[in-house]
A and B are shown apart, each in its own frame.
Chain A
């Protein structure tokens, strides 16, 4: 097997070197290859990215922080104290062998205890991204980038989603959205404002940390800026993924330019953030922003022409649109169509659209509950919050799952939402509120059948997500390849 051993102590002189030697010796005794990097006060000489890519597991023996630790994200990681590596290197190598075979990081009691409370709570779940990306090349890389962005985004989704649901429960789903908390303070309005603010960061964080995974710290600023513009132009999380990948690529490219002397030193301070943000921002506005505006107009006209079309067809279209980009332009167009109907006295499209927006998070909550092993630990936790978000018509809860694995998750969710929306129209369900999920059940006409429509779509989407992930091999490299396409 191939390992990378990372050792760190505050001075980088004595114990990190001893641990390095101990690991190296023990690994060689067992016939493994190991690349070593020693971290200390004056930094570290990093092993090649190629070595990390090829490694079956990463061993971190550290009594100090590791710089640019994200380089190892997505790899099975075994984390021990320096002392363990020095005293019992053979055991540590044995644990690395097991982690490599399982393709998953272990959560060693020692390492967890060392971390701070909040992080220990998660038990290293963030690292435990299931991987067998051995030799999968670009596809696996892209998947790692997306997963990194998603792992940083999830806390915002959970905080925002649950706060908004709480606001709906306490203050009424329609009312809270209409109060300006700064003028007219109420607790529910405050909760709603905090939740919406967290949601405003979803796309920038996703974009920023996709770029971070690709180009390290210099990627963050251009990525976040690109993500904010994705918000601005209403490009949704797919726009955020585009912004993140763009920012990462631009900074990776900038890093290749080697300038001599003084110019070389200003690259990270001036050139990466300046040129990175400029290029990404310009591309987002010109290449992505403009087309989105025209596509949105086109979709609006097309939907308007479908007025009075067959209920099943209209439902399939509206439902698919709701689940396609969850807050992006396509979703917003369908939602706006329903709002226009609501204002004009047509209450059925509103009901269909809300049902279709509730289905994706509910389906993922169901899928993570019954087939947890297909998901990362972070996704499993987010999955349980999705019961609340789905019930509250907070479609954003599904975004982390869709962003991590767009080509398989989005189509699965679209099918269930399309069925739900069609059934809702077929059952003549109506809704006299623009929002609220289960909290506006009193305003839903024909509500028992409405819940049935949602349940059917939820089961269908969950089954498809599980089926497609199971059938095409869990978290394997195939998915990553498809995600790269």
Chain B
């Protein structure tokens, strides 16, 4: 069984007009999307784990305006990634970010989703992909972009 991008995200998990006050609010809003999509069994436990990792690493935002908050947690029932975009870059740890990917990974050894998530992270390094994400006008477009970039 192989996992594709459609197993870990969907248009329900894309928020193109994320209007939030900052880093923590962004994580909360995206965690709510994952929760509504039925991927979290314990939303708060998962969010706590993400917060902890953010604090531990000094923020997961990179210079290129991308933040990838993520955690492995028992509060996750199904692996997923939620994407939020803000109109102006948020203060995010030591950096600023306008593209935020919140990744939820379940506990356990058999990480079929890891390959997909790794590929997504790898593509984000390329400016062309980031530009397309910034220019996309609908959630459908975003999911389609991810499909194009990530083949399994």
Contacts and interface: CB of A to CB of B under 8 A. Distances in A.
Q: Chain A interface residue count: which class?
A: 20 to 34
A21 interface: yes
A22 interface: yes
Q: Chain B's interface: helix, strand, loop or mixed, by majority?
A: mixed
B121 A15 contact: yes
Nearest to B121: A17
Interface in B77-126: 101, 103, 105, 109, 111, 114, 117-119, 121-126
Q: Chain B interface residue count: which class?
A: 20 to 34
A41 B105 CA distance: 12
A87 B72 contact: no
A14 B103 contact: yes
B60 interface: yes
A40 B117 CA distance: 13
A15 B117 CA distance: 10
Contacts of B125: 18, 21-22, 25, 86
Contacts of B60: 14-15
Contacts of A87: 62-64
A13 B117 contact: yes
Given A14-B103, A86-B125, A42 B117 contact: no
A374 B124 CA distance: 45
Interface string A8-38: 0011111101101110010000000000001
Contacts of B109: 42
Contacts, number: 61
B39 interface: no
Interface in B9-51: none
A41 B72 contact: yes
B62 A86 contact: yes
Interface centre among B53, B119, B121 (most CB of A within 10 A): B121
Nearest to A9: B57
B122 to A, nearest CB: 4
B70 A14 contact: yes
Nearest to B66: A18
| Among all A-B residue pairs, the 5 with the closest Cβ atoms | A21-B122, A17-B121, A17-B118, A87-B63, A14-B68
Given A21-B125, A63-B57, 18 more contacts: A11-B72, A13-B70, A13-B114, A13-B117, A14-B60, A14-B68, A14-B103, A14-B117, A14-B118, A15-B62, A15-B68, A15-B121, A17-B117, A18-B68, A18-B125, A20-B122, A86-B64, A86-B125
Interface of B: 53, 57, 60, 62-64, 68, 70-72, 101, 103, 105, 109, 111, 114, 117-119, 121-126
